Every structure is written in C-alpha cells, then in structure tokens.
Structure 1
Amino acid sequence: MEKKSSIFTATHGVMTAEVGVISGELELRSTCDDDGTLTLAITYVGAEEWYTLPGDDYHLHDLRDHEVVHRLLTAVLERS
C-alpha cells in the first residue's frame, strides 16, 4: 500500500460525499493498494475528520501511475 499527501488551497471549494463543498487550505490523501484500488480522501489542514471525494470505485491498471494521478488531482482540485 502506498500513500501520498498534498496540501493545497481550494478557493472555490471541493465537493465531498459527506458534507458537500469544503474550501480553504485542504489536504488530499490518495492511497493505492497492491491491486490498484485507489482511495481518495480530503480534509481541512490540521483536522482529524477525513471526507471522501464523490464517484465510483477508482482503480489504476498500473501502480506506477499513482504519483501522476495524485499530482493531477491536486492540481485540478486547487483550480476549483
């Protein structure tokens, strides 16, 4: 299992499955299991409660793509 984490600022907000839109200084965590299952979670920086990003199951066909997908998601969410 591999975990990646990035801090970014979302001015316009990011949709979560549990509480709707959150904005401000956020942390994205992506976890890739050995079978390619990708789990995405987001929180306010320094908070304990994590939220999930909406959508179906995420799966990587090549585990080496985890770094690229994580960086891409961080960049897109920061533009939100």
Structure 2
Amino acid sequence: MEQKSTVFTATHGVMTAEVGVISGELELRTTCEEDGSLTLAITYVGAEEWYTLPGEEYRLHDPRDHEVVHRMLAAVLERP
C-alpha cells in the first residue's frame, strides 16, 4: 500500500459523496494497493474527518502510475 498526500486550495469547491461540495484549504489523499485499486479521500486541512470523492471503484492498470495520477488529480481539483 502506498499513500500520497497534497494540500491545495479549492476556490470553486470539490464534490464529496458524504457532505456535498467543500472548499478552502483541503488535503487530497490517494491510497494505491498492490493490485492497483485506488482510494481517493479529501479533508479540510487539520480536520479529522475524511470524505470520499464520488464515483465507482477506481483502479490503475499499473500501480506505478500512482504518483502521476495523484499529481493530476490535485492539479485538476485546485484549478480555478
């Protein structure tokens, strides 16, 4: 299992499955298992509660792509 984390500012918000749209200073955490299954979670910086991003099961064809996919997600979620 490998985890990546990035702090970013979401000015237009990020949709979560549990509470709807959240915005402000957020932290994205992606977790990739050896089989390529990917978990996406987001929280307010410093908060204890994590939320999931909507969607079905996420899976990478190659777990070595985790770094690239994580950076891409963080960039897309932060864009104005």
Equivalent in the alignment of 1:10: 10
Letter of the structure 1 residue corresponding to residue 10 of structure 2: A
Distance in structure 1 (CA, Å) of the matches to 2:10 and 2:54: 16
Paired position in structure 1 for 2:42:
42
Superposed CA RMSD: 0.6
Q: TM-score, normalised by structure 1?
A: 0.98
Residue equivalent to 1:73: 73
Report the alpha carbon displacement of residue 18 of structure 1 after superposing the two structures with TM: 0.1
Q: How far apart, CA to CA, are the structure 1 residues paired with 2:49 and 2:7?
A: 15
Moved over 4 A (4+): none
Shift of 1:74: 0.1
* C-alpha separation in 1, matches of 2:33 and 2:64: 12
Q: 1:64 & 1:4 partners in 2: Cα distance?
A: 13
Normalising by structure 2, what TM-score? 0.98
Partner residue of 1:28?
A: 28
Paired positions, count? 80
5+ residue gaps in structure 1?
none
Percent identity over paired residues: 82
SS of the aligned residue for 1:61 comes to coil
Alpha-carbon deviations, 1:14-35, whole Å to 9, x = none? 0000000000000000000011
